[in-house]
Amino acid sequence: MEKKEIAIEGPLTIAGTRVYVVAEVGITCTCNDGRLTCSGSRRPIYILILSDSERRALTVRGEEVAREQLIAEVAGIEELLDS
């Protein structure tokens, strides 16, 4: 069994600026010879920086991401961007 989902983690608030991490979180479980083995992973995809004067989304490599791309890829992120 394998399950993956996108999770929005945070915020971490620094001087009025909120920082969120959008990460792919997954779990994999297998059963071999009556033994259950599970492993988990967390892979950051985007960093969101939200303040009163600025709203930015960056990849973990530091590249700017368009709002439309984020909305298409991450369920529920539009509400966060509009807050």
For residue 33, the model assigns a pLDDT of: 93
pLDDT of residue 31: 94
pLDDT of residue 80: 87
pLDDT at 41: 97
Q: What is the pLDDT of residues 25-82, one digit of tens each?
A: 999 999 999 999 999 999 999 999 999 999 999 999 999 999 999 999 999 899 888 8
Whole-angstrom Cα distance, residue 45 to residue 65? 11
Closest alpha carbon to 15 in 47, 54, 63: 54
Q: How many CA atoms lie within 13 A of 71 on its CB side?
A: 8
